Amino acid sequence: MIVDSHIHLGLTVSAPCVDKSTGAVLALMNHLEIDLSISTGTALIFGRPEAGFRVALEAYRQSEERILSYAFFNPHYPEEDLSWARRCLEHEAFVGIKIHPPIAACYPDDERWNPIWRLASELGVPILTHSWWVSDYNPIQRYATPDRFEHYVKTYPDVNLILGHAGGRYEGHLAAAKLARAYPNVYVDFSGDSYSFGLVEWFVEQIGADRILFGSDLTMIDGRTVMGRILDADISAEAKALILGENAVRLFGLSR
Amino acid sequence: MYDVSVAPDTQARVGRLMTQYREQKKTLKFLDSNLWLGRPMQPGFCSRWELNALVGYMDRYAIEGGIVTHNAAVVEDPYAANEELLGQTEGNGRLLSGLVLTTDLPPGYANWGDYLDWALSKGARMVRLFPKSHRFSLESWCSGSLLDSVNERHMLLTVWHIEVGWGAVRMLCERYPELPVIVEGRPQKILYHNRFFYPLLEQYQNLYLELHNLNVYLGIEDIVRRFGAEHLIYGSCMPVNDPNTSQMMVTAARIDEEARRQIAHGNLESLLERIQMP
């Protein structure tokens, strides 16, 4: 089974999208032989939880249960978002929780994130987070550096955390690998535009293939940029199968 | 730790996809407009930057040939680094050179034409300009004689969008309709810039987008459908970036085989054939 564990349904106005429809996502999944995808709807991320919940359920239905979803939590709206997260996760279409510290401008070790970690622990679901590194042109990423997740990773060893984008840039990759080496509940995915030469091989060497996931960042980025790098990497066939699907099957408890 | 003896169907499928992908790459004979030589200033996972290593990477990733530029020409001394590059690539059957130029005439030359003709004879085919980092303007009053000379020879002109801005890209395309203007998304992706480059692609036949950071979801299919495959040029930015990033966007694009060949190598070959040699 091939699983894309990091996609988005919906539109983000600053990122022009050729075709945001679920049908287009499904067509590309079929073309690339991706069995399942796990989405965070942009409506959930940007403060329209009810609409986001409906979009997720509709995608689940339209895709014949092939497009699953993450619930979402913004720490500045703890009661409302916690309630929505709980409601989402009662439905079988939802298999994890997404957080995005830079969008909330809230450091990952801030106490305001505690309620969602507690919920993840209670329900036994993984958390996917955006992770990145600071650059001159992208200073907001100071809220997403992998080292700042250590507090909760340590506090909740039963919650698996996926560092989406594996830290984003070179220094972030180093920090992501360091955190993953220290804590067995830390995973990474290669979604986004972290295209460094040798990155896939380096991560497999650093943390092993069993905590790396295939994620594309569809519909913001074309997933073929990620899949090609994994298929052609200098790693074993077993490692490629783990990354492209088997790890996600185990982590999210997926089985068909 | 998870047992790595995973379900055989996944392994078998991944094995088939891998074989199929590698075969497709060979068939498409990729020609790479964006190869680099010499140590970069920022750290990365690649540790070898000499010519032999680059040729080895090209073999490994099924890249038949390409245009290479020296990193030191961007950050140190363009003319010394260009000369070193030309010395290394001259006579190489697979590699041509990309020069980095500023508005300063190279030492020992009285005009741009003489320098460009000399460089062309040594294998140069592309000129890269960095107006923001190197502090000059692309307007006629500042770089007119340089651009006129590049244009007369129909050499490839490559710019990074963050170095020039889309308004200057338009100005170049408008002023020199015979000059191929290639835009690369380095170091920031040109993903999300559709609202700039779609109107430009509609208006200018001489505008080309290089692929290594043109990672828009469904972007290749949409650009080919709207404007044809002629505007897209394969480039990898290797060995900063993994060439597979843009290779699978071509091999697995839902476009016809001829369009795939154009993007992988045909468009760049056509542009190289148009260059006026001395």
Read off the pLDDT band of B192 (50, 70, 90): confident
CATH code: domain of residue A78: 3.20.20.140
State the average pLDDT over residues A35-61.
97
Q: What average pLDDT score do residues B173-177 get?
A: 98
Q: What's the confidence (pLDDT) of residue B181?
A: 98
In a domain, B95, yes or no: yes
Per-residue pLDDT tens over the stretch A79-120: 999 999 999 999 999 999 999 999 999 999 999 999 999 999
Average confidence (pLDDT) over A204-209: 98
Question: What residue numbers bound the domain in which B86 lies?
Answer: 23-273
Nearby residues of B145 by Cβ (< 8 Å), 6 or more positions away: B111, B112
* Sign of the dihedral through C-alpha A200, A222, B196, A16: negative
Instruction: Indicate whether B190 pLDDT > 90.
Output: no
Q: How many domains is chain A partitioned into structurally?
A: 1
At B221-232, the pLDDT tens digits run 999 999 999 999
Please tell me which residue of chain B has the smallest CA distance to A210.
B2
**CB contacts, 8 Å: B245 with chain A:** 195, 225, 228-229
Shortest Cα distance, chain B CAs vs residue A242, angstroms: 7
Average pLDDT over residues B42-69: 95
Q: Tell me what the mean pLDDT of segment B27-32 comes to.
A: 98
Partner-chain contact A198 B189, CB within 8 Å: no
Asked if the C-beta of A166 comes within 8 angstroms of chain B's C-beta atoms, the answer is no
Distance from CA of B168 to the nearest CA of A (A): 21
By percentage, how much of chain B surpasses pLDDT 90?
A: 90
- Please report the pLDDT score of residue A256 as a whole number: 52
Confidence (pLDDT) at B4: 40
Q: Is it the case that residue A146 has pLDDT exceeding 70?
A: yes
The pLDDT confidence band at residue B241, using thresholds 50, 70 and 90, is very high
**Over the stretch B46-59, which tens digit does the pLDDT of each residue have?**
989 999 999 999 99
Nearest to A117 by CA among A158, A70, A68: A158
At B147, which CATH number?
3.20.20.140
Average pLDDT rounded to a whole number, residues B218-245: 97
Q: Do B21 and A228 touch (CB under 8 A)?
A: yes
Given CB atoms, is A204 within the 8 Å cutoff of chain B? no
Inside any domain, residue B152: yes
Domain count of chain B? 1
Average pLDDT over residues A17-27: 93
Range of the domain at A183: 3-252
**Residues of chain A numbered 33-72 and touching chain B (CB < 8 Å):** 33
Q: Which is higher by pLDDT, B194 or A239?
A: A239
Q: Is B249 on the interface with A (CB under 8 A)?
A: yes
Q: Is B10 on the interface with A (CB under 8 A)?
A: yes
Given an 8 Å threshold on Cβ–Cβ distance, is A238 in contact with B188? no
B59 has a chain A CB within 8 A of its CB: no
- Residue-level pLDDT at B7: 52
Instruction: Indicate if ipTM > 0.85.
Output: yes
Greatest CA separation found in chain A? 47
| Least CB–CB distance from A195: residue in B22, B188, B241 | B241
CB contact under 8 A, A228 and B248: yes
Q: Which residues of B touch A255 (CB under 8 A)?
A: none
pLDDT band for B3, please (50, 70, 90 cuts): very low
Q: Is A7 on the interface with B (CB under 8 A)?
A: no
**Over 80: is that where the pLDDT of B2 sits?**
no
DSSP per position, chain A: --EEEEE--S-BTTB--S---HHHHHHHHHHHT--EEEE--HHHHTT-HHHHHHHHHHHHHHTTS-EEEEEE--TTSHHHHHHHHHHHHTSTTEEEEEE-HHHHT--TTSGGGHHHHHHHHHHT--EEEE----BTTBGGGGGG-GGGGHHHHHH-TTS-EEEEGGGSSHHHHHHHHHHHHH-TTEEEE--SS--BTTHHHHHHHHH-GGGEE----TTTS-THHHHHHHHTSSS-HHHHHIIIIIHHHHHHT---
pTM, two decimal places: 0.95
Task: Work out the average pLDDT over A67-83.
Answer: 98
Q: B244–A232: do the CB atoms touch at under 8 Å?
A: yes
Burial class (CB in 10 A: 0-12, 13-18, 19+), B148: middle
How close A32 gets to chain B, by Cα (Å)? 8
Q: Are strands B232-233 and A67-72 parallel, antiparallel or unpaired?
A: unpaired
Q: Is residue B177 part of a domain?
A: yes
Arithmetic mean of pLDDT over chain A: 96
Nearest alpha-carbon partner for A131 in A100, A104, A105, A159: A100
| Diameter of chain B measured on Cα atoms | 69
